[in-house]
Amino acid sequence: MENLKAIVLAAGEGSRMKSKTPKVLHKILNKTMLDYVIEAARGGSAEAVCVVVGHKAEEVKAGIACDGVGFALQKEQKGTGHAVMMAADFIEDDKDMLILYGDTPLMQGESLARLAEIHRTEGNGVTVVSAVLDDPTGYGRIVRDSAGNFRKIVEHKDASAEERGIQEINTGIYIFNGRALRESLQKLGNENAQGEYYLTDCLESILLDGGRVGIVTAEDADEFFGVNSRVQLAEAAGIMRERVNRKHMENGVTIIDPANTCIDPSVKIGMDTVILPGCVLEGDTVIGEDCEVGPHTRLTDMKLGNGVKIQQTVALESEIGDGAVVGPFAYIRPNCHIGNRVKVGDFVEVKNSTIGDGTKIPHLSYVGDTDAGERINFGCGSIMVNYDGKKKHRTTVGNDVFVGCNVNLVAPVTVEQGAYIAAGSTITKDVPEDVLAVARARQQVIKGWKEKRFEK
């Protein structure tokens, strides 16, 4: 939407969070509350965003993942009106100005776009978002006249008994005409017990100057839920989790237990995939169709093909091909490329490795810094010994190799295609094609040893 800018207020300390971390940097599903608000502003077509910082300003700036954000500094926290004053250079007379808060992470861009459209259609000097709550205790009330038009906002502590009976509350979200905002800020005073400048006073100022104050009642009050404590952070996270899970289910994904499934908003999941309980899916994870994920699996920045089955596994920043079976109790570390129909079984760790199609690593093995070909069988207890105490080295294993149980391949080493490695071998030299490599001491049987031992 043209001629729309957003100011995000994020200068407060948030003492009720009881945290060394600034309140707006606390995360929901691995994204800060402030980043959610910035993304919502841009989703509502704001062409520019200015964040007003104050408490731990540099930490807040560094904690923002979104690019292209401007900043204004509020050195002293003297109220919401004062915070907007600090962004005076950002305000333009011919643009509409969204005023948002960095601790309201549940807002959606579509709702802000709707707000802007209504604001312009009605020709308002300012439009405030209201919400109707069953229990409005603690919130400022929207007071209307007999015709239903805006008259004032009264804070809970200042409200009369009749006004406290009003269930329509002020969410604190506004869109101002730029000129009306600038002029009302110039008239703003702080003649109150707290000595603060309240943005709500700007609405009455605009009304007294003959401007129109509109009200848009939120269709979903949860969108404008503000977070001031750890308890409210958990409540907001629950709402976000339910919202994300519902979207996937509506798109053809089965989530067996949504209450025990955490999926980041950025995750993509294909149709007919089943997510079992206890899963955490994070970052830029992409899961194909017809997969079965879980139970109790964590995937971070993963790419899974179609028909993958992965259970009780931690997998990070890697790719898994079609039809692969992973787990239980596997650990896929970053930069792995696991091919189609690969088996990575129980208590197997794979790190910085390429595993070719059809290869099997059934159990109790470590495959690190390895280029493994197709159709290899790694026996139980196969270890790629990749570290010499100073440097990491790579191991190369060709197609159709058979690696016996309890084998150590000491890198750098190459095992060429078709070779067999005898169980219990420690291989330190390259192995040619189609041979049997045995590297272990010859078994000896010493008669009479037991009797001599116990005689001593």
Q: What angle do CA 101, 108, 215 make, to 5 degrees?
A: 70
Dihedral (Cα; 313, 317, 322, 325), 10-degree rounding: -20
Dihedral (Cα; 441, 443, 445, 450), 10-degree rounding: 60
Nearest one of 256, 263, 341 to 307, comparing CA atoms: 341
Give the whole-angstrom CA distance, residue 417 versus residue 33.
53
Angle, to 10 degrees, between the axis of helix 109-122 and the axis of helix 33-43?
50
Q: How far is CA 135 from the centre of its chain?
A: 31
Q: Is 296 a residue of the active site?
A: no
User: What is the β-pairing status of strands 150-154 and 141-144?
Assistant: antiparallel
157, 137 contact by CB (below 8 A):
no
User: What is the β-pairing status of strands 343-351 and 360-368?
Assistant: parallel
Q: Which of 26, 82, 119, 363 is catalytic?
A: 363
395, 377 contact by CB (below 8 A):
no
Give the whole-angstrom CA distance, residue 256 versus residue 324.
22
Report, as residue numbers or ranges, the catalytic residues.
Answer: 363
